[in-house]
Amino acid sequence: MLVTVPAPDPALKTLSAKVGVKVAVTAVAAVSVTVQGPVPVQAPPPQPVKTDPTAGVAVSATTVPLV
């Protein structure tokens, strides 16, 4: 037979009541202005000129040792 030791507490009823009102006060500005400075003038970084690849030739050489 399985027995729980110690015995669990009897179920209790909980009563909660709301009393009062929660208030949060936050001060904010009526006008908000965001300003971003001018972008500095600078040349773009140099890039290599695009070219088509030239035709190539594949060479394969295999040597066989004399036995």
Tell me the pLDDT band of 65, cut-offs 50, 70 and 90.
confident
Residue 52 has which token pair? 């088509």
Distance CA 46, CA 48 (A): 7
Q: Which amino acid is at 66?
A: L
pTM attached to this predicted model: 0.17
Quote the pLDDT of residue 61.
80
Question: What pLDDT does residue 42 have?
Answer: 80
Q: What does the pLDDT look like over 8-60, one tens digit per residue?
A: 666 666 666 777 777 777 776 677 778 888 877 887 788 888 887 777 777 78
Q: Whole-angstrom Cα distance, residue 5 to residue 66? A: 90
- pLDDT for 45: 81
CA-CA distances (angstroms) from residue 7 to 1, 2, 4, 40, 50? 15, 12, 6, 77, 84
